[in-house]
Amino acid sequence: MVAGDNSGFFDSQMYRKAMTDSGDLIAVMDERYAYLFVSKAFMHYLGLRKANIMGHAAPEILGEELFKKELKPYIDKSLLGRRTTFQMSLHTSRLDDRFFHLICYPVVEKGVRAVVVVARDITRLKRREQALQWYQQIFRIVLEKAADILLLMDPDGIITSCSRYVDRQTGLSSNSVIGQSVRRLFSPESYEKVVGHLEDWKRHYARYQSWEAEVIGRSGEKVPFEVHSTPVYEQGKLKWVVVIARNILKRKTLEEELKKRRGEFELQLEEITRQSKESLQKMQEEFRNLSSKILEDQERERNAIGRELHDELGGYLTILGIYLGKLSKEPDKSKWLEQFTQTMDEMVQYVRSLSHALYPAMLERGDLQAALENYFGSYQRRTGIKVHFTHKGLPERLPLHIEVAAYRIIQEALTNVAKHAGVEDVKVAVMRLKNVIKLSIEDKGRGFDVTKVSTKEAYGISGMKNRALFVGGNLLVTSAPGQGTVIACTLPIVGIQELRPSSLPLKE
């Protein structure tokens, strides 16, 4: 059967059933599956002209495999007089995969048996369904695996979906809370917040909310949670609320611990500050005492110098004055001139000794080692006490104030040995170790009780300690009756080496 043989039939029946300009894909097939009619949409989708379709069989146009598998069973049923409905996918070289909803209408009239196939493109709807299924699958996975409480509730606060994590926190299974009010999960205070948010979302087109709430735990305790809730609207009305609640008990505990630690730290800082202030005040007091002692020592030295000048030098000047008087009156001047010259030499020697006592001139011409060795020779000649001197690292020059302090401390210590120890020898050691100078003066003499030092002896010990402190060092005296005495001193080498005043060589 061909289209021309049944033109009257199609003019009266088919064109009333199928609109040529319909947006759906419409085709009419006879018992041989040949096309008797196709709509414009059908031709446009296949990219073929009407002449290339009409009279040709569907397997030829659509492909043998597709036709047999997807279309033929339903078309055969319709040819038997049954209306059939089904879905199928179709792919062409012009378009990507498309999905169709098809309805096959049987037509039997005036001995003609045919099928009207109406196909509606549901690709967009199908893809939406697939996406929805995919999202639903993801949502189910999230509900199963999430480490937070996930809720989906309606505008009345009724839970419609719930993650399994709720069981770990509350002891309630997810299935048991679905269909129940969210009141079952939250404390009364937190539930009031939920109600307030729901009312706001119903009245206004609101957005995301973040707040803290208390969830009733497995043992009835209140567990702090951080809640993030997002409303979902449809046509301007609240449809759902997505709730994500995260346990923040550990964070809260940590915050409390940090707050406690901070308080303890602040107390410790206050205590350290108080101790620092006390230490500073103590250091200031020690500095004042040290300054006062230095001034006292200087005053004592000035008094001693004054006495020396008055007693010794004044005596020499008085005698010289007498000799001058004799020279002017006595006829025999040679006798008095000889005595005058002798007394003058003694006075010059005395002035040199006094000058050396005030400042070790040897430090101008040599280093500390040379100055000490010169002094030890003079000391042994005057006292008969032999000095065993050991040293290390002294050839290199030291800052002048360090050398003077070391020289004076050793000088004062040996003076005390000569006065009080009653020994024939004494050990002196001077060692440079990196950035410090260590002094040691040791004798095996009488010794003394350091807690019961006489005022006169205390001046000597105090003077040595003050000299050490003045340059940033320290000095320790260790002694006991019959056990000898050890003086140990440490002097730091700090700062830039001082410039030494230039001077002419002095004669001894």
pLDDT of residue 249: 86
| Locus of tokens 């002095």 | 506
> Within this chain, do residues 21 and 145 fall inside the same structural domain, yes or no?
no
> Within this chain, do residues 326 and 403 fall inside the same structural domain, yes or no?
no
> Within this chain, do residues 292 and 412 fall inside the same structural domain, yes or no?
no
Is 346 inside a domain boundary? no
Give the strand pairing for 436-443 and 425-433. Answer: antiparallel
Helix (H, G, I), strand (E, B) or coil at 33: coil
Quote the pTM value. 0.40
CATH number at residue 152: 3.30.450.20
CATH number at residue 439: 3.30.565.10
Cβ 306 vs Cβ 290: under 8 Å = no
**Residues in the chain, total:** 508
> Within this chain, do residues 486 and 365 fall inside the same structural domain, yes or no?
yes
- Domain's final residue, options 247, 278, 294: 247
Is 504 inside a domain boundary? no
Is 16 inside a domain boundary? yes
> Within this chain, do residues 105 and 152 fall inside the same structural domain, yes or no?
no
> Within this chain, do residues 369 and 479 fall inside the same structural domain, yes or no?
yes
Is 133 inside a domain boundary? no
Is 348 inside a domain boundary? no
Which residues are CB-contacts of 24 (< 8 A; sequence separation ≥ 6)? 39, 41, 118, 119, 120, 121
Structural domain of residue 266, as residue ranges? 253-341
Q: Would residue 242 be called left, alpha or beta, if left means φ above 0 and alpha means ψ between -120 and 50 degrees? A: beta
For the chain, list residues with pLDDT below 50: 1-10, 12, 18, 495-508
Is 379 inside a domain boundary? yes
> Within this chain, do residues 51 and 156 fall inside the same structural domain, yes or no?
no
pLDDT of residue 368: 83
Which residues are CB-contacts of 325 (< 8 A; sequence separation ≥ 6)? none
Is 366 inside a domain boundary? yes
- Count of the separate structural domains present in the chain: 4
> Within this chain, do residues 364 and 487 fall inside the same structural domain, yes or no?
yes
Q: Would residue 449 be called left, alpha or beta, if left means φ above 0 and alpha means ψ between -120 and 50 degrees? A: beta
Number of Cβ atoms within 10 Å of the Cβ of 35: 21
> Within this chain, do residues 288 and 329 fall inside the same structural domain, yes or no?
yes
Q: What is the crossing angle of helices 455-470 and 400-416, to 10°? A: 160
> Within this chain, do residues 372 and 334 fall inside the same structural domain, yes or no?
no
Q: What is the crossing angle of helices 249-308 and 455-470, to 10°? A: 120
pLDDT > 90 fraction of the chain, expressed in percent and rounded: 18
> Within this chain, do residues 9 and 99 fall inside the same structural domain, yes or no?
yes
> Within this chain, do residues 231 and 266 fall inside the same structural domain, yes or no?
no
pLDDT of residue 506: 36
Is 412 inside a domain boundary? yes
- Domain's final residue, options 196, 229, 247: 247
- Domain's final residue, options 341, 370, 396: 341
Work out whether the CA dihedral 500, 502, 503, 506 comes out positive or negative. positive
| Beta strand ranges found along 9-135 (DSSP E) | 25-30, 35-38, 84-90, 98-109, 112-121
Angstrom distance (rounded) from CA 88 to CA 86:
7
